[in-house]
């Protein structure tokens, strides 16, 4: 009886707390007529009011300004490349997936002083292709072993979010998770198109929960939790930093064409891919899949997920300064079209799903549209359609876009467009930054 009473009390407390939390935020807006009037900052006008007229103006003045604003106000400042980082090849097979692939599993130790803090990188490269090969790089949500049922993939030992399907027990992955996310990873399809796949579990870099920035790479490289400045790096910045460390490895692997690495991310990892691509110009092509608020969607629209909602639900994702803009998006000195613009003139693809209203599909398209002038300034084709396109109708300029039928997910349809986009741009020399 006592346990029943306690459960009832906890249920009441949870209900009251949930209502109180809901009362702190306005209702979620899914009505275009209720999108507030807004004015976007101009990516081609410097902080001193001077216009950006040349590539030199962009690269030497305006781009550094915008990059510094995102580091200070949104994602936080990350450290540079570690001096004690090292790589260890844990396993290799030249006859993986019934002879279709070369498989490598590499352990990346962030700092030799902390050998237990490491990330495991899984590579599948097409065995029949001439090497070095172009690759798609993407972090995964459920461990490397989740992307394919290949029994040789090592099961992650890092912290994982509990799941009811038995794939995670006690915050540790189980054998039942092998291949559990296969629908999002058409490995054989990508290999047969001549591309490799490179992935790592994002929790190897920074476990995705708010512990005061004590675990993961924050626990190695600081700053100390009790002395964090308001522009210290959050988890998205940490995951983006981890992608650059994978790129460090790829530059050492002679079987990979490190000049043709397509960076892909879905959802929160789509936000991560955009931020990594904005900072690290070694990524030749960047893809955002359903990244929404803090990713490709314009914050000022307040459609679906908002700055206030994302900061309260995930207080560890962004830097502390970003919380100043909760329900105050108009005060932001940047918006997400400027994040996309930082990647110019390299190709960028943004993909939306029409039923994923939380991620504001139209706001994602508008951000791409408002980034377009930067590509055109730098001599690119930019976005080839000015209006939101019909469903399942890809646009393939230097800026690519589609809005897909269906929900928040990564599908084979999405991958088919990304492969076509990579084919288009990797066949030319326009994937590297322009001379400055």
For the chain, the distance separating the N- and C-terminal CA atoms, rounded to the nearest angstrom, is 74
Active-site residue 183, yes or no?
no
Find all residues with CB under 8 Å of 83, minimum gap 6, and list them: none
Q: Which residue has the tokens 């690290």?
A: 280
d(CA 391, CA 127): 36
CA-CA-CA-CA torsion sign (128, 129, 133, 135): negative
What own/partner pairs with CB < 8 Å and gap ≥ 24 does 163-168 have?
A: 167/142
Active-site residue 316, yes or no?
no
d(CA 135, CA 78): 25
d(CA 196, CA 334): 35
Residue closest to 408 by CA, chosen among 336, 339, 360: 360
- The active-site residue out of 258, 267, 288, 352 is 267
Give whole-number Cα distances, 78 to 63, 65, 380, 388, in Å: 18, 17, 30, 35
List the structure tokens of 336.
């997400």
The DSSP H or E segment spanning 217 is: helix 216-221
- The active-site residue out of 93, 244, 255, 408 is 408
Determine if the peptide bond prior to 153 is cis (ω within 30°): no
Question: Angle between the 268-279 and 235-250 helix axes, to the nearest 10 degrees?
Answer: 60
The DSSP H or E segment spanning 103 is: strand 101-109
Burial class (CB in 10 A: 0-12, 13-18, 19+), 37: exposed
Cβ-contact 421, 349 below 8 angstroms: yes
Name the DSSP letter for residue 232: B
Cβ-contact 180, 200 below 8 angstroms: no
Cβ-contact 284, 276 below 8 angstroms: no
Cα 105–Cα 413–Cα 160 angle in degrees, nearest 5? 40
Strand partners, 256: 133
d(CA 139, CA 202): 6
Catalytic residues: 267, 408
């Amino acid at each position: 009886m006592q346990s029943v009473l306690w459960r009832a009390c906890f249920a009441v407390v949870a209900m009251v707390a949930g209502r109180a939390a809901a009362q702190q935020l306005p209702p979620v807006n899914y009505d275009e007529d209720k999108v507030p009037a807004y004015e976007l900052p101009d990516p081609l006008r410097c902080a001193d009011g001077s216009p950006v007229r040349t590539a030199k103006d962009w690269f030497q003045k305006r781009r550094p300004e915008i990059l510094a604003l995102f580091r200070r106000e949104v994602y936080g400042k990350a450290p540079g490349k570690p001096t004690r980082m090292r790589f260890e090849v844990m396993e290799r097979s030249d006859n993986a997936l019934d002879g279709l692939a070369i498989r490598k599993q590499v352990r990346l130790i962030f700092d030799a002083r902390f050998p237990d803090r490491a990330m495991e990188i899984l590579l599948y490269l097409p065995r029949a292709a001439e090497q070095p090969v172009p690759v798609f790089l993407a972090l995964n949500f459920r461990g490397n072993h989740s992307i394919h049922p290949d029994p040789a993939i090592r099961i992650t030992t890092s912290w994982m979010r509990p799941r009811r399907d038995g794939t995670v027990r006690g915050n540790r992955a189980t054998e039942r998770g092998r291949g559990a996310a296969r629908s999002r990873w058409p490995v054989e399809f990508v290999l047969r198109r001549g591309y490799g796949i490179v992935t790592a579990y994002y929790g190897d870099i920074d476990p995705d929960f708010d512990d005061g920035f004590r675990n993961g790479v924050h626990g190695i490289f600081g700053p100390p939790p009790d002395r964090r400045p308001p522009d210290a790096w959050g988890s998205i910045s940490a995951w983006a930093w981890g992608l650059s460390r994978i790129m460090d490895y790829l530059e050492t692997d002679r079987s990979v064409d490190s000049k043709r690495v397509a960076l892909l991310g879905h959802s929160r990892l789509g936000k991560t891919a955009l931020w990594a691509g904005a900072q690290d110009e070694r990524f030749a092509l960047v893809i955002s899949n359903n990244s929404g608020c803090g990713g490709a969607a314009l914050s000022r629209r307040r459609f679906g997920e908002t700055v206030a909602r994302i900061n309260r639900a995930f207080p560890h994702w962004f830097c502390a300064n970003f919380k100043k803009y909760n329900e105050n998006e108009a005060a932001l000195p940047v918006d997400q079209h400027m994040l996309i613009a930082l990647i110019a003139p390299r190709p960028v693809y943004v993909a939306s799903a029409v039923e994923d209203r939380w991620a504001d599909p139209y706001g994602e398209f508008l951000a791409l549209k408002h980034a377009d002038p930067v590509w055109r300034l730098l001599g690119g084709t930019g976005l080839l359609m000015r209006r939101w396109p019909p469903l399942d109708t890809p646009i393939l300029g230097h800026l690519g876009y589609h809005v897909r039928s269906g929900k928040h997910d990564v599908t084979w349809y999405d991958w088919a467009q990304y492969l076509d986009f990579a084919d288009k741009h990797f066949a030319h020399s326009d994937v590297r930054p322009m001379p400055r």
